Amino acid sequence: MTKASLPAVGLLALTVSLSSCRKEEISAGKAGAPPPVLAPEMQVNRMVNGPQGLLAARKDSPVHWQQWEPQLLKRAADAKRLVVVLVGSSQYPGCLEALDAIDRDPKCVSRLNGEFIPVLVDLESARECGVAAALLSEESKSSGLSFPFLLVMSPEGSEVAWRPIICGQPNGGDFRDVFDKAIDLVTKMWTEDPDFTLRNSKTDHERRLKQIILPDAVVDAAGRDAFLIRMTRQLSSQYEADIGILSGAGGLFPLGSLQCLASSANDPAIPAEVAGRCREAVTGFGKHVLNSAMVDPLDGGVYSIRRGNSWELPLPQRTCMTQARAARALVSLQASTGEARPLEVARGAVKFAEEQYSTQDGLFSNQRQPAPTNLRNLLWSREQIDAALTPEEAALWKARCGVQDLGNMAMEADPMKEFFRLNSLSARVPLAEAAAKAKVDAAQAAALLESGRKKLLEARRARTPEPAPATAGAASPSFRMVSAYVALFTATGEAAWRDKALNLAKRSREAFSKDNLLIEQGPPVPEAVGDARAFTYALAIQAALDLAEVTLDDSWRLWAGDLATVVAEQFTDKDGRLLEARPASTPLTLPLTDRIMLFDDSTAGLMRMNAARLEALGQPPPPEMAKLARSLPPLESQPVVVSDSLLAASFSRSRVIVELPANPSAEWREAAAKLPLDRIARRIGKGATAKILRPDGSTVTPANPAELAAAVATTRP
């Protein structure tokens, strides 16, 4: 069981001892105070109307879980209770198990309902809570950020105590010990002297506010270029070819780093030797990870995180966001390396998303109904494979995946031999080589592989039925899928992908617009809870700009500009910080935004890219976003966690602008639409000829649409 220390205010409570005289004074003070009033809505579980996913799945919990909305602080003040916030996501192993452990423990349920205002938060809809958990974990010098994360807040909204809640046993047998240790001290302090808790938590909160860093500094072009080259050089050097990892990425599938390396390999402003190393890294690492178990060989879906130090043991939680993000990044890889595998995986990821996450309303949810983590269901014994397949199919699959009687898990993946005699399936061996090893006719290998895949997938679903699908879409995955479709259109030239993008974007804009704002999910989700965060706006702006590039329809560019204005007006504070949530929609009063890639793309990085793209399309973003586009992360940042901001800086510096003639023909439009998304902006000019405006200030004039792609392409020395 991993433990994190309580913050200083919690430890201080250990030394607080009140004299009998002081206790009498407190009692006298309490006697004249109005009695606690617990509102009726606080006495029931309100997850029945919770956003789909982790929250809605707890609608039958005996805990009186409340929604994460500003009104809960007033209700907590009226009830004279502390607020206990449990932050999690069904993407993270342990979150569902922890909630199940609470529900099974009558004493724990009684404490939450009788002593606190219990609040359940899903990171999918309240991203600011994940950023706060990271900040507080760093402050208390925890061993690392993990979920579920418990935060105790005062009725004034100040942070009182916090720690991750990690159950060491599968049945949650040690949960009570972890939970009690997390809240016993603050409960005692609050019971004996609530004013002490209010004063000290407010003082700590005000100190914390002063320590939150100001907006990133705006730099000139020379500073940006030096930063970009240095960070790109460092990122490329972090690839360790002998063990197939990208140092610093941890267990996350580093899609952002792969896209950044791929883009840098084609950046004419990056020194040739650095660009060469980027190409080597993205080619080698791409081959390694795309042929690992992170890409499911049975259903084509992509996993977002691994367990341990091997890509052969992914964690089973998958989301629509991961599939769409993978498709967008892998199209960049294919453009850089020219190899077929990245595009093949991108197609498979989108197909998996359509099969698993599309909803009846023509949108996308991020996940199916949550289910507990069970790694063994992803693994296979030799006997299970033999039972599911014909002898020829089994021989081929075992050869391709390196199946062994004792299991094929490397020591770093399974140091405790927890999965002894079990095998992870992945494309470890090329098909031709596997066919020769299995003594299978090479001409029949592809058909045998496919027939075996279908049977293994059916067998896996039989032993592990898939959770029920969500019934309604959400904004973030829907907008992200728009960008995935657009990326596949530019990579393949197949008009069907663009049609899908356009149809989905129209549905999403209609479903998730509320006046000039966006919502993450509509009714019955409460209005405050459904309010979209800045990250969702970043995805919507990106999707609109992607569509503007491949349709040359100005209405999408204008909508992207309108959303950028909303962000500038609603999601920035007096110091110019970009905020993750509108103050009207969150009880958290810390001015936080996702600045580094805690959950893959960061809000700041995406907004930087969007601002740079708006400028290239001739639509200056609001001043607040323009500053963000010209700013850089702190110089001491690790490139792995700011690779999206590196992409934004690269796009801003090295973007080619394709200016079509006025009233362009269908041939000009189609030629421009099929250009790659990265580093190329398209717009309609006022002249009679097409122009290509290069970053160095030079201009190229293609004679006809057929010459456009060749004229845009940059040839490296």
Structural domain harbouring 47: 8-211
Choose the weakest-confidence range: 314-323, 371-380, 421-430, 533-542: 371-380
Domains in the chain: how many in total? 4
Confidence of residue 143 (pLDDT cuts 50, 70, 90): low
Q: Among the three residues 654, 676, 693, which one is the final residue of a domain in this structure?
A: 654
Q: What CATH number is given to the structural domain containing 636?
A: 1.50.10.20
Whether 1 maps to a domain, the answer reads: no
Q: What is the average pLDDT across 536-551?
A: 97
Q: What is the mean pLDDT of the chain?
A: 90
Identity of the highest mean pLDDT range in 160-174, 241-255, 376-390? 376-390
Neighbours of 383 (CB within 10 A): 10
Confidence of residue 350 (pLDDT cuts 50, 70, 90): very high
Q: What is the average pLDDT across 335-356?
A: 96
Which of 23 and 229 is assigned the larger pLDDT? 229
CA–CA distance, 298 with 462 (Å, rounded to integer): 14
Confidence of residue 527 (pLDDT cuts 50, 70, 90): confident
CA–CA distance, 620 with 610 (Å, rounded to integer): 11
Q: Do 273 and 305 belong together in one domain?
A: yes
Position 696 scores a pLDDT of: 86
Q: What is the average pLDDT across 97-115?
A: 93
| Main-chain dihedrals φ then ψ at residue 448, nearest 5 degrees | -65, -40
Q: Do 479 and 570 belong together in one domain?
A: yes
Helix locations, 553-642, DSSP H: 554-570, 603-616, 623-630
CB burial of 465-477 (b: ≥16 within 10 Å; e: otherwise) equals eeeebbebbbbbb
**Which residue type, as a one-letter code, is found at position 335?**
A
Query: With the C-alpha atoms ordered 26, 27, 29, 34, is the resulting torsion angle positive or negative?
Result: positive
Confidence of residue 504 (pLDDT cuts 50, 70, 90): very high
Residue 15 has pLDDT above 90, yes or no: no
Q: What is the average pLDDT across 507-535?
A: 94
**Which residue type, as a one-letter code, is found at position 378?**
L
Q: How far is CA 279 from CA 116, 235, 332, 335, 597, in A?
A: 55, 12, 12, 11, 22
Residue-wise pLDDT tens digits, 202-216: 999 999 999 988 888
Which of 603 and 242 is assigned the larger pLDDT? 603
Contact assessment for residue 103 and residue 61, using Cβ atoms and an 8 Å cutoff: yes
Q: Do 367 and 379 belong together in one domain?
A: no
> Six-digit token pair at 708?
């456009």
Q: What order of strands is seen across the sheet that includes strand 159-164?
A: 116-122, 82-88, 149-153, 159-164
Q: Do 361 and 446 belong together in one domain?
A: no
Position 652 scores a pLDDT of: 86
Place of tokens 């095998």: 423
Q: Do 149 and 43 belong together in one domain?
A: yes
Residue 487 has pLDDT above 80, yes or no: yes
Q: Do 241 and 365 belong together in one domain?
A: yes
**Using CB atoms within 10 A of its CB, is residue 460 exposed (0-12), middle (13-18) or buried (19+)?**
buried
Residue-wise pLDDT tens digits, 463-481: 988 899 998 999 999 999 9
Residue-wise pLDDT tens digits, 214-243: 888 899 999 999 999 999 999 999 988 877
Task: Tell whether pTM > 0.95.
Answer: no
Q: Do 193 and 227 belong together in one domain?
A: no
Q: What is the average pLDDT across 397-413?
A: 93
Q: Do 450 and 474 belong together in one domain?
A: no
Confidence of residue 172 (pLDDT cuts 50, 70, 90): very low
| Closest-CA residue to 132 (of 531, 576, 592) | 592
Q: Do 42 and 190 belong together in one domain?
A: yes
Residues in the chain: 717
**Which residue type, as a one-letter code, is found at position 623?**
P
Q: Do 389 and 361 belong together in one domain?
A: no
CA–CA distance, 481 with 19 (Å, rounded to integer): 62
> Six-digit token pair at 376?
């063994």
CA–CA distance, 671 with 666 (Å, rounded to integer): 9
3-state secondary structure of 326: helix
Place of tokens 């901001």: 645
Whether 216 maps to a domain, the answer reads: no
Q: Do 88 and 228 belong together in one domain?
A: no
Q: Do 367 and 403 belong together in one domain?
A: no
Whether 717 maps to a domain, the answer reads: no
Whether 569 maps to a domain, the answer reads: yes
